[in-house]
Structure 1
Amino acid sequence: MPTEIDLMAATPLLLVVLALGYLLGSIPFGLLLTKAAGLGDIRDIGSGNIGATNALRTGNRWVAIGTLIGDAAKGAVAVLIAGVLASRTGGDATWMMSLAALGAFLGHLFPVWLGFKGGKGVSTFIGILLALYWPVGLLFCATWAIVAAVARYSSLSALVAALLTPVYLAWLDQWHLVGLGVLLVILIYIAHRDNISRLLSGTESRIGQKKTEA
């Protein structure tokens, strides 16, 4: 990790990385793809969320797949760009890639273009994990798939997989990423607070079930 003096000297570059991550993360692929497909505004469909799960409620699986890929890609690209910048500037890769990841995640959750009302971060989180350390990204996806197959709740699958992510990072000796992992997981749980309430009350929509109220 950089010393205090090094960190102060690197602050402008770190802020650039954070801002770049935010701008990439704030690209609303769900909104753009839904409109491009002639399906209207995704915020008027289902839960009103701009993520892949709600995009699937449009009835167009290709829009949902495109949203998933786009939201994951923007997180991964932000991290990879930060890694390249770190190698070319001599900056600390852990700091720069972590800040880019945080920026992309915040951009997705709170995009300035949409009045700071964005998605819930799961797809972007997957992209970030794959770029930072792909085995943990695969473990997240496997955990999501197993819970989804058993419980048929997308939100529950994401919450369980997210909760286990810091454990996976520690287990695979990626201790330098555990702090970032914990922070992003906390943000995921905050973004899913309504889903958590519905899960507890038994009113959460299952995978494949259309949600009528926006």
Structure 2
Amino acid sequence: MAIWLTLCGVIVFVAYLLGSFPTGYIAVKQLKGIDIREVGSGSTGATNVLRTLGKRAGAFVLVLDSLKGVLAITLVYLLFNFAISQNFIPPTIDAKTWQPWLITLAGLAAILGHSKSIFLGFTGGKSVAISLGILLAMNWQVGLATASVFAVVVAISRIVSLSSIAGAMAVSIFMLLLHQPLPYVLFGIAGGLYVIFRHRSNIERIIAGTEAKLGQNLAKEIDQTA
């Protein structure tokens, strides 16, 4: 039992470290020699990279941040396969019951790591791209449905923050509609609320009608969403 609990603790911590890996910060630092936290919104997320370095760099960081989420959840599956093969899971534990809970904890840890990176003094992005990767690894239908909501809203409004908030609100609905296990539903609620919380300043600007839209100059987007 002790070995199993230790493995669970390690995988959650590794998921946090994966989320903490500062892809946006490194990309901008290497390509432009500046600290992205001092540009635009100050976020290390893909949208701020898009505004700083352009579409290719923004897309590159978006993909890498999403992959961090996929990898965090994949590690849980690998852990279970390893633990089962080595008989580390006590016979009194139902692995099928534990797995969704550990996936949820690893997902939340990765989200926290992305926004509060240990490598950047606990600063970071707004956990949108990594959340998408986690959702795709949890259930690809939920992930694609959430991405579709984001895409539709951004196509209509041209406001990334509004699209992120809409996607965050839709996650729990899709989890319920697709009959996902309780831990995943709780992940949708907790993760969605956290992403919305990270966008609280954007919400104020949306209400005030001053939130930046895609295509505007970086100089006009200081302190805007990322």
Same fold (TM > 0.5): yes
| Match in the other structure for 1:37 | 31
| Match in the other structure for 1:93 | 99
TM-score normalised by length of structure 2: 0.87
Shift of 1:9: 7.4
Aligned residues: 208
Amino acid at match of 1:134: W
Distance in structure 1 (CA, Å) of the matches to 2:52 and 2:8: 39
| Match in the other structure for 1:121 | 127
The 8 Å contact of residues 4 and 83 in structure 2, kept in 1 or not, is answered as no
197, 202, 205: which one pairs with 2:209? Answer: 202
74, 83, 103: which one pairs with 1:80? Answer: 74
Shift of 1:18: 1.1
Shift of 1:44: 2.0
Shift of 1:60: 2.3
Aligned pairs for 1:103-142 within 5 A: 103-142=109-148
123, 147, 154: which one pairs with 2:153? Answer: 147
Stretches of structure 2 lacking an aligned partner (at least 5 in a row): 85-94
1:57 counterpart = 2:61:
no
Distance in structure 2 (CA, Å) of the matches to 1:31 and 1:210: 20
1:161 counterpart = 2:132:
no
Greater Cα shift, 54-63 or 18-27: 54-63
1:184 counterpart = 2:191:
yes
Distance in structure 1 (CA, Å) of the matches to 2:138 and 2:174: 13
CA separation of 1:175 and 1:200: change in aligned 2, threshold 3 A: same
SS at match of 1:205: coil
Identity, % of aligned positions:
36
Shift of 1:39: 4.8
SS at match of 1:58: helix
Shift of 1:169: 0.8
Shift of 1:36: 1.8
Alignment deviations for residues 3-52 of structure 1 (CA, whole Å, 9 cap, x no partner): xxx7x874322211110000000001001111221352211221111001
Greater Cα shift, 54-63 or 113-122: 54-63
Distance in structure 2 (CA, Å) of the matches to 1:89 and 1:22: 21
SS at match of 2:52: coil
